[in-house]
Structure 1
Amino acid sequence: MKTLLSAAVLAASLMSATFAQAQDWPTKPVRIIVNFAPGGAADQLARLIGPSLHEALGQPVLIENKGGAGGNLGAEFVAKSPADGYTLLMASGGTVSINPHLYPKMTFNPAKDLVPVASVARVPFYLVVRADSPVKDFKGLLADLKAHPGQLSFGSPGNGSSPHLAAEMMKSETGTFAVHVPYRGAAPALTDLLGGQINFLFDPGIALQHVKSGKLRMLAVASPHRAPQVPDVPTLDELGLKGFDADAVFGLYAPAGTPQAVIDRVNTEVNRILNMPTTKDRIITIGNVALPMTPAEFGRKGSDDFKRFGKLIRERGIQGE
């Protein structure tokens, strides 16, 4: 009886300490590490919610970019940071669902060393070419790929990134081939598309401004449903690739062991911010769709994508850089 009583007292004291820690948190600036280069979808989303999160938490929210190794450098930095809620990761879901398939010798385990905190947005991928390209539509792109196998190239934010896998899915389902050119983020890939160094791109939304200005032409959306930003642009599913779904979910992660009360606090604040009309509109503007979830829902999405993309990676023989 004494043993059980002691255990109960210990458990209660630990819960009380954790709650007190969460009540006091934060007492200093919170850092959000973006594991890709500035200008990409993860960076834009972090900087979009940062000011509102600062206001909600009463402490500065600092955004830092630590790109490289397909997002692993920034993710590892967060995974090995103190689990006190002061260092968070803004990343594509590919960090936990794709990278473990690509890098067998990772120095951390995303599934064990990071915990989902808050989904921020569903990121559709837009198939774009230069406006002066002879390719006018998706049918024309397929014809060009088949007529010139291996002579066309496409860019991505990195080997095994979600936009890369979108292109590999398209190639697999259409029996075509194009050369993959990996970059250290979506922004550098977009720059080279605009400059004519590559032929097409699955873009996470940052190219929309260039589509509107007439510099780029959008051929399709790699989502199950049309994107609200471009309702007149068909999905690849509509264009014959049935069931095509390359969407990614971007969100916040924390080091494993972060107090649950802190995770719940961040999740609550982020979801509140995402439900604000101004936030929804701004996320729409950058080509994404606000997607509030509970930590458990966010985690299940990562697990489902881990299985789905793992199958594609094995079939296509994709390896990390």
Structure 2
Amino acid sequence: MKIPTLVAALAATVALAQPATAQSYPTRPVKIIVAYQPGQGTDVATRYLAEHLGKAMGQTFIVENRAGAGGNIGTSEAARGAPDGYTLIMGTNGTHVLNQFLYATMPFDAEKDFEPVMLVSTFPMVLLTNPTSPYGTLAELLAAARAKPDAVDVGLPSTTARLVLELLKQQSGTSIRGIPYKGSGTSMTDLIGGQVPLAIDTVSASRAFVASGKLKALGVTSLKESALLPGVKTVAAQGVDGFQVLAWNGLYVPRGTPAAVVQKLATELGKILARPEVRQRLLELGHEPEGGSAADFAEFARTERKKWGPLIAKAGLKAE
């Protein structure tokens, strides 16, 4: 066989193999890495969706937790995974946007080492206070912070909470002192007990306390009111124009995964996220379901990097 003919035959074989791979995929269990501890919000939502993906695609989707270094350990493992559709990762705004600006060195490149599949969910943060504190509204809090710079303390249990505070200070012209906490548990305990007057946390971590009256929500960080905390005004609607901070989860695969496999994953996940019962359950878990194309997700992440990179640099934030 002549070389041009052989090359053409090989190209045709590869072209035929791509759809065949997608049609048969998956033929064995699929691993979804979660770069955080079991029981954390991303983990719980991922396990729920993994069950649905398994039923839809006829194979087991196994969630593996690889926590540490702000999500960098598990994400690095995912980046080194074979690009064959059997290693996925539920990325977050931390792993795929913020960490590259917070850590001096990174074991992976969030843009170059991964391909986006779909934005799965978003969830706003919420500014919380103890009902006995002197801050009954966001306006009262900001007025107090302007009157006495750095005299108002707020508990910060996460990197995203730190960013909420920095953006709030920048856009409202106030100076509020952040008190770092390692996780929501201790910050919530101190807030309920009155040891700290304010905290910033996820809706999922706090809404039970808000519903019971143990805490009061002063504002959510989405541009529109959240279905997760109906009736709570946004920060933007209370005088801080355009204020928005969203935490998010999104499915990624290692760069080089066949396009047909990525598309099959996106198609099945999109169908799952469109189901009313799935959307309702995700809301109950503290996640607002999203969806859309891989291109939309990639552009969303690029916009996030452009927004947070300069703010993190200006504030001098570093990983703790």
Counterpart of 2:127 in structure 1 is 127
Q: Indicate whether 1:153 and 2:151 are aligned.
A: no
Within 5 A, what are the aligned runs for 1:257-296? 257-296=256-295
d(CA) in 2 for partners of 1:262, 1:60 = 16
Return the offset for 1:14: 2.0
Structure 1 range deviating more: 269-278 or 53-62 = 53-62
d(CA) in 1 for partners of 2:260, 2:109 = 23
**Shift in CA distance, 293/123, structure 1 to aligned 2, threshold 3 Å:** same
Equivalent AA in structure 1 for residue 160 of structure 2: S
Contact preservation (8 Å) 1:40, 1:187: no
Render the CA deviation track for 1:98-143: whole Å, top value 9, x for unaligned. 2212223112111111111121112111212234434222123224
Unaligned runs of at least 5 residues, structure 1: none
Return the offset for 1:195: 5.5
Counterpart of 2:57 in structure 1 is 57
Counterpart of 2:79 in structure 1 is 79
% same residue:
34
Larger Rg: 1 or 2? 2
Return the offset for 1:13: 1.9
Return the offset for 1:239: 0.9
Return the offset for 1:288: 2.6
Contact preservation (8 Å) 2:203, 2:229: no
Equivalent AA in structure 2 for residue 167 of structure 1: L
d(CA) in 2 for partners of 1:193, 1:312 = 27
Return the offset for 1:308: 1.0
Return the offset for 1:193: 4.1
Contact preservation (8 Å) 1:91, 1:250: yes
Counterpart of 1:9 in structure 2 is 9
Contact preservation (8 Å) 2:228, 2:288: no
Structure 1 range deviating more: 42-51 or 127-136 = 127-136
Give TM-score, length-normalised by structure 1. Answer: 0.89
Equivalent AA in structure 1 for residue 166 of structure 2: E
Q: Secondary structure at the match of 2:127?
A: strand
Q: Secondary structure at the match of 2:111?
A: helix
Return the offset for 1:192: 5.2
Contact preservation (8 Å) 1:78, 1:89: yes
Counterpart of 1:39 in structure 2 is 39
d(CA) in 1 for partners of 2:225, 2:310 = 25
For residue 198 of structure 2, the aligned residue among 187, 197, 200 is 200
Counterpart of 1:252 in structure 2 is 251
Give TM-score, length-normalised by structure 2. Answer: 0.89
d(CA) in 2 for partners of 1:221, 1:296 = 28
Over aligned residues, Cα RMSD in angstroms? 2.3
Contact preservation (8 Å) 1:205, 1:286: no
Structure 1 range deviating more: 121-130 or 303-312 = 121-130
Counterpart of 1:171 in structure 2 is 169
